[in-house]
């Protein structure tokens, strides 16, 4: 009887970490949006260059602008649409979408209203593919 109790306790201790493990533990952490402020006074994006990872989002923040602006990527990866004065634009750089993205405000490009987003590949996720069960030997 004592041997069965010991085996039960050992099994409970061994199994408990597996019960508490979560698939989220091995995935890419979700970062909050990176904010790029659209500055109507100086006709600039601030910051003008950012570095993020695949899976991250960028939000272009229009803050009560006097002049209408937009954000357009040279390669047409993203485009905030028609120029606006008060509507934010958000874009997510999904897995596989990495590299350097040059963007601009269409009406103010010639005045230097340009920016750059550098998207690095997401870090590789290490998976534990162990399928072996632990062996417990009990002597009577």
CB 119 within 8 Å of CB 97: yes
Q: What is the mean pLDDT of the chain?
A: 78
Assess whether pLDDT exceeds 60 at residue 17. no
The mean per-residue pLDDT over the stretch 45-71 comes to 90
Assess whether pLDDT exceeds 70 at residue 3. no
CB 57 within 8 Å of CB 33: yes
The mean per-residue pLDDT over the stretch 49-78 comes to 90
Which pLDDT belongs to residue 18?
41
Assess whether pLDDT exceeds 70 at residue 67. yes
Q: Phi first, then psi: what are they for 97, rounded to 5°?
A: -100, 85
The mean per-residue pLDDT over the stretch 82-106 comes to 92
Of 14-28, 68-82, 85-99, give the lowest mean pLDDT range: 14-28
Catalogue all structural domains in the chain, each as residue range(s) with its CATH number: 34-120 (2.60.40.420)
Q: Look at the block and give the residue holding tokens 């485009």.
A: 79
């Amino acid at each position: 009887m004592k041997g069965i109790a010991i085996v039960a306790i050992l099994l409970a201790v061994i199994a408990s970490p597996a019960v508490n493990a979560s698939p989220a533990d091995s995935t890419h952490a979700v970062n909050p949006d990176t904010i790029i402020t659209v500055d109507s006074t100086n006709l600039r994006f601030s910051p003008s260059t950012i570095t993020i990872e695949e899976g991250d989002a960028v939000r272009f923040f229009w803050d009560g602008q006097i002049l209408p602006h937009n954000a357009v990527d040279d390669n047409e990866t993203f485009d905030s649409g028609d120029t606006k004065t008060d509507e934010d634009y958000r874009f997510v750089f999904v897995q596989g979408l990495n590299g350097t993205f040059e963007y601009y405000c269409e009406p103010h490009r010639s005045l230097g209203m340009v920016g750059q987003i550098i998207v690095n590949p997401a870090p590789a996720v290490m998976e534990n593919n162990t399928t072996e069960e632990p062996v417990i030997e009990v002597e009577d």
